[in-house]
Structure 1
Amino acid sequence: MGSTNELGARGVSPTLRRALVVTMGGMAALVLVNPLVPVVAEVLDPVVATVQGVVFQDKDGDGRKAKTEPGVAGVSVSDGAKTVVTDDEGRYALSIDVDRRTTDLVFITKPAGFDVPTDEAMTPRFYRDLGQLADGAQSTADFALLPNPKSNSDRFTFANVADPHVNGNLADQMRAITSTSQDLAFVQVSGDLTNNATDAEFQKYRTGTAASKLPVWPAVGNHEYRPGATYAARIDNYRRYVGPEWYSFDQGNRHFVVLENNGAAPIEEQREWLRQDLEAHAEDKRVVVLMHQPMNVPFGGNSSYDSFSELLDKYETELVLVGHEHSNDVDTDWVKGAKHIQTNSSSYTIDHSPRGFRYVNMWGDNFDNPFRMYGVEQALSVTNPAPGTSVSAEGLREIQVNAYQTTDEVGQVRYRVDGGEWRSLNKSGDFTWFGPYAGSAKPAVGEHTLDVQAVAKGGAKWQKSSTFRLTDAAPAKIEPGADWPQFHGDARHSGVSGDVVRPDLELAWTHRTPGTILTGSSAIVNGVAYVGTRDENGLENNGMRAVDLKTGKLLWSARTDASVHGSPAVFDGLVFVPTINGTLHAFDAADGTERWKREPEPATPNRQRSYSYYSPTVAEGKVFWAYQTRYGKASQGLLTALDPKTGASLWESPMTGSTMSDGTPAVADGKVYVGNHTADRVVAYDVATGTRLWTSAALLGGWQDGAPTAVDGGVFIGSNNGVIARDGTTGATLWTYRSPGASWIAGNATPSAPAVVGGTLYMGFPDGRVTALNVATGSVVWSVNLPGKPYLGGVLSAPAISGDTVYIGSNNGILYGLDRLTGNTVWNYEIGTWVASAPAVSGDTLVAGAWDGNLYAFTTKE
């Protein structure tokens, strides 16, 4: 960690080293002509030091080699440029270029069957800090290996964390991750340990990882670069505090390679080290790559690192773990046959997903990688029949429960009615358990007791009891009404329905999916609800579903090539579905047949990268859609107007951002408004031609989160726990409002789109407030604070207005109905996990998705 030479070699600064070389070069000029060439050659050679030592079995764990402790042969020892292998006695000698870096390090590739000691911050001591070695210096660096037969097993689990950014929760996160009942081997962090690579931040990071019970293996993020004229200067704090930029280690039949792909490191040097490392260690092992920047998105690693995939293709590379984007994503394009998995940030997320991590379970020749959200301890919610509700005896067909524990997967849920026989439920997704209702043979009208018990795979049990009342009323019956064909109901994103859903609601049905539903919402057309799903762990659960609104039964489903984060739009018999990799699908609304697919243009000879996290909008016979690519015409973001029948471009107009420049368009008064780049910037275009009319400033700060609402000549968009109103004709700011509370959402993400009706704007904020504002002045009409707690608080859902009720979800796991005039709660329903999706309304029915992957339909009681 420190910069002093721990082994006693005299330190020489890089500046002095260079000066000595120049001086020697000048002296060479005085030598006679014939001897000149060898002298100059010697002067230009790298200045080197020699490091030697032994790698040994530390049987007594004291860190010092005893005579009875044997050396370990065949262990790779490297400085990141040169690599040698220990001899039969475990000894090695390595010459290193002392000008290559500021702080000189040597490290080993830990073999399977052994652990390495950890320091006080639980960083593995697989490397030695030699300080700043002088030219010709000789140092000794021994490496202790701790025998551990479990490290030979091909079945093990480790945790993957990304982008902690020295957040104040890091110590608690490490405690939680390593408190699992699973036999966890280690924790790995995919970069961005700090914000600015300062000494104080590295010390804070190390204080956080010290709370781990297990070794924490780091990788370099772009935030580990500090200011400096050279790479050696920029990376030096990282090296001093946590070790080398690239390295490898073995566990069971896996070879782990940690790489630095942030753009400043000498790429040829790292590629050659990787080539030699794979050649030496990967021939008979499965390869796992750990690095920071994803290689499949515009805002990711430099394309020069694509050459690394060519090396990795030659071996059995199965998994690439990255961070950087603060989002969850999986694809298989970078290395053939390998999952390229992006994990969201432990500090703050950009796709608005709950902060979390992964347990990666290696099962011999297979693996899985479940994402786990932080901060959920023994959660248990009965969603049908909900506690305290009255339910039709004829209509109660099943029991449904949501159960979750951050650190241990729930392995069993069972229930009993009125103290009767316990009955097991079946699992759906990560949260939901369901099964047929089995009360008495003939359900008795009246009050009943329901006991539910969850059992984690580690053996922990928790239980809840509730009551419900069976009635002789007829089962809930849904009558579809007006369409809700796209995000927030219409092209303006007004969030207002002409149908009135009274807040005396009962659950009509639940449609379960194996994926997740985040901020994307459903569209309802002709009595069919259409909803997209995300897959946090793979590709299988990405897609679109069409569900009968009356019954909740699946009509058809279609796979998509990536997660559906945005909302579908339905028009003229087609369903337009966006995916996060920048593809827009058009499916037949009747049967799910794909009619066309719009993919970003190629970027030969480079691999094109693209994304689109937002929703298409249909208006004036066109489909408006925004996406961004790494290369080409969409590199600053591109707003397109498409022919709905063919997907052909009618016009294209550039946006204004360099990173994360896409958005959900709103259309009103002959203009298209789209949030763009970061914070609350909005760009306005002519709807007929795509001509850019105006570009606003960004005043609220934060990430560009929201979708604009364009109503009554104004444009409204949220960001950074606030909302801003602009004139739709000029873009001039009319007013701004900041919600007063402390945000439950790290980073103040504000994706909730305002709903506007009758001169009042309604909106949810990440501090947990739902607020009504005067559209003309921005003054508060009313504001209510929905309860929350860390990881389970804040409002990301966009409100839906039906009659006198504001329907909105909360991350506290509850769907609310609020009185439109006062904000008082007039109805609520506990789902038990994030309800960040915007509700949709049709006829007498309210439809809402949740993070559990389920679509819930509520209808007015008879």
Structure 2
Amino acid sequence: MKKYFVIACAATLLGGCSVLDAINPFSSSAPKMAELPSIKPTADARVVWRERVGKGDLYVFSPAVVGNSVYAAGVGGTVARIDDGKLVWKIDAGMPLSGGVGADEQLVVVGSLKGDVLAFNSADGKLVWKARATAEVLAPPAIGDGLVVVRSGDNRLAAFDTTDGKRKWIYQRPIPALSVRSTGAPIIDGKLVMAGFPGGKLIAVSPNNGAAVWEGAVALPKGVTELDRVADITSPPVISGRYICAVAYQGRVACFELGSGQQVWARDMSSALGLAIDGPTLFVTDDKGAVHALDLASGASLWKQDKLMTRKVSAPTVLRGFVVVADVEGVVHFLNREDGSFATRVKTDGSPVRAPIRSLRSSVVVQTIDGGVFAIEAE
């Protein structure tokens, strides 16, 4: 994932931010991308269907899956619903978009660079309501318990009523002088809304009023310079049973008790990409492109697949015995869940995959920067 670092001045939080491409670790001075290793496929994979929405450009648009429906969007304003490979509707949101997609059975929600939050009817794509966040919307909104929760570029959480878009509450906290531009969505689970923040903090707040319930330290900033001290959570946390886990850039991967926020374990690992849980195993893609399998209860290493180093590998997802990741050339890799070995791979449109890969029953859904949406099946 291409990282954009943002200077966030505490005194001018809403206005004085700038992008520092010079310290982008995937610039032309970055290590040469590894060649794809030859493999002997042990599984068959195929593209089940494909569709096109607008390009992503510099933004990360994550497809949303609800039942058999896939919702996808692009920077030009296109929002689409695809059911079993058939285009149900495609609309123009009427403005450029920068974040999305969040969806449930009733609503499809996206956001804009100006902080607009747009909610459409999932059945026909008609606008239901429009609201405003406090800054640009870069992450997919979360929907649940009658709320749409939006994370804005100033690292605030805002909750809106799903019926009319009325704002219910805002959560904000102090942030460090330097932070990573985050596309990590909040998540809603039962009585908590959870999100990762700059400084390595995982926060749980009440969906009723936005008050903090608990705070966990995934990473502890360290070093002499502000750049050394960047330790931000830029991907969504994941939940399984009583555990909630998160990973931080220049920090650690850690798991906590969901109810109390008490840390169960932590180990050093840097990732701005994300993680996935399947049964007793936690899967993480680190910043160098290696995919790790860790024991969920203890954090012990089970295996590591490092043959995709420097290929800007996506966050993992798990499907039917495979750990699935995609890379900068749009290649989707299926790894054997038990040992991380390559099972098979599938090419898409040749452009990078930055968005999280979604599971769709027996398939995975991948969205590329060029706007391709692919459902891929392997067995």
Q: Same fold (TM over 0.5)?
A: yes
Deviation at 1:770, TM superposition (A): 0.8
Structure 1 residues 679 and 850: alpha-carbon distance in aligned structure 2, compared to 1, 3 A threshold: farther
Partner Cα separation in structure 2 for residue 848 and residue 542 of structure 1 = 19
The Cα of 1:808 is off from its aligned counterpart by 1.6
Q: CA deviation at 1:835?
A: 2.0
Change in Cα spacing, 1:560 to 1:840, as seen in structure 2 (3 Å) is farther
Unaligned 5+ runs, structure 1: 1-163, 166-191, 193-221, 223-261, 263-294, 302-323, 327-344, 357-372, 382-387, 390-501, 535-540, 602-609, 630-636, 740-747
Deviation of 1:374 after TM superposition, in Å, equals 12
Distance change >3 Å, CA 786–CA 647, structure 1 → 2? farther
- Aligned residue identity for 1:809: A
Q: For residue 174 of structure 2, what is the aligned residue in structure 1?
A: 656
After superposition, what is the alpha-carbon deviation per residue over 1:143-201, rounded to whole angstroms, capped at 9, x for unaligned?
xxxxxxxxxxxxxxxxxxxxx99xxxxxxxxxxxxxxxxxxxxxxxxxx9xxxxxxxxx
Amino acid at match of 2:295: N
Counterpart residue identity of residue 847, structure 1:
V
Q: Please state how far the C-alpha of 1:529 moved relative to its aligned partner.
A: 1.6
Sort the Cα spacing of 1:841 and 1:556 in 2 relative to 1 into closer, same or farther, 3 A.
same
- Counterparts of 1:98-497 in structure 2, within 5 Å, are 298=14, 300=16, 324-326=18-20, 345-348=21-24, 355=27
Q: How much does 1:812 deviate?
A: 5.2
Indicate how the Cα distance of structure 1 residues 556 and 526 shifts in structure 2: closer, same or farther if over 3 A, else same: farther
Matching residue of 1:781: 302
What TM-score, normalized by structure 1, do the two folds share?
0.37
Residues 1:770 and 1:299: Cα distance change in structure 2 (over 3 Å): farther
Q: For residues 727 and 576 of structure 1, what CA distance do their matches in structure 2 show?
A: 30
Q: Which has the higher helix share?
A: 1
Structure 1 equivalent of residue 317 of structure 2: 800
Distance 1:559 1:503, change over 3 A: farther
Between the two proteins, the alignment pairs up a number of residues equal to 354
Shift of 1:813: 3.7
Give the one of 835, 843, 850 matched to 2:361: 843
Distance 1:667 1:613, change over 3 A: same
Q: CA deviation at 1:815?
A: 0.8
Instruction: Kindly provide the amino acid, as one letter, of the partner of residue 826 in structure 1.
Output: A
Superposed displacement of residue 644, structure 1:
0.9
Q: Please give the residue correspondences for 1:6-85 in structure 2 after superposition, counting only pairs within 5 Å.
A: none
What is the rounded CA distance, in whole Å, between the counterparts of 2:108 and 2:43 in structure 1?
Answer: 30
**Alignment CA distance shift 1:530-1:503 (3 Å):** farther
| Residue 658 of structure 1, CA deviation | 6.2
Counterpart of 1:712 in structure 2 is: 241
Match of 2:255 among 711, 721, 725: 725
Pair 1:619-2:144 in alignment: yes
| 3-state DSSP of counterpart to 1:754 | strand
The residue that corresponds to 1:568 in the other structure is 101
Does 2:66 correspond to 1:545?
A: no
In the other structure, the counterpart of 2:92 is 558
Is the Cα–Cα contact under 8 Å of residues 78 and 90 in structure 2 kept in the other structure?
no
Aligned AA (2:19): E
Change (3 A) 1:598 1:506: same
Deviation of 1:693 after TM superposition, in Å, equals 1.5
Contact 2:276 2:317 in 1 (8 A): yes
Structure 2 vs 1, CA of residues 727 and 525 (structure 1 numbering), >3 Å: closer, same or farther?
closer
Residues 756 and 812 (structure 1), Cα distance of their counterparts in 2 relative to 1, 3 Å cut: same
Q: Which residue of 2 aligns with 1:759?
A: 280
Give the Cα–Cα distance (whole angstroms) in 2 for the partners of residues 694 and 347 of structure 1.
33
SS at match of 1:510: strand
Instruction: Determine the C-alpha separation between the residues in 1 that align with 2:283 and 2:373.
Output: 24
Which segments of 5 or more consecutive residues in structure 2 lack a partner in the other structure?
222-229
Q: Which has the larger radius of gyration?
A: 1
**Which amino acid in the other structure matches residue 716 of structure 1?**
C
Corresponding residue SS for 1:717: strand
Q: Deviations over 1:684-722 (max 9, x none)?
A: 112333221223344264343221113222221122254
Q: Aligned partners of 1:711, 1:562: CA distance in 2, in Å?
A: 35
For 1:563, give the aligned amino acid: L
> Are the counterparts in 2 of residues 558 and 592 from structure 1 also a CA contact under 8 Å?
no
The whole-number CA distance in structure 1 between the counterparts of 2:124 and 2:24 is 39
Deviation of residue 586 (structure 1)?
0.2
> Does the C-alpha gap of structure 1 residues 711 and 688 become closer, same or farther in structure 2, counting only changes over 3 Å?
farther
Rounded Cα–Cα distance in structure 1 between residues aligned with 2:292 and 2:102: 27
1:512 to 52, 68, 78: 52
Residue 571 of structure 1 aligns with an amino acid whose one-letter code is D
Q: Is the 8 A contact 2:51 2:85 kept in 1?
A: no
Change (3 A) 1:542 1:348: farther
Under a length normalisation based on structure 2, what TM-score does the superposition of the two structures give? Answer: 0.80
Q: Are the aligned partners of 2:117 and 2:133 in contact in 1 as well (CA < 8 Å)? A: no
Does residue 768 of structure 1 match 2:289? Answer: yes
Moved more, 503-512 or 651-660: 651-660
1:854 positional shift: 1.1
Q: 1:526 to 1:760 in 2, by over 3 A?
A: closer
What SS is found at the alignment partner of 1:544?
A: strand
Residue identity opposite 1:506 in structure 2? R
TM superposition shift of 1:617? 1.3
Please tell me the root mean square deviation across aligned C-alpha atoms, in Å. 3.6
SS of residue paired to 1:688: coil
Deviation at 1:575, TM superposition (A): 0.2
Contact kept? 1:616, 1:623, Cα under 8 Å: yes
Contact 1:800/1:807, CA 8 A, preserved across alignment: yes
Structure with the greater relative contact order (CA < 8 A, sep ≥ 6): 1 or 2? 2
**Structure 2 CA distance, aligned partners of 1:680 and 1:658?**
10
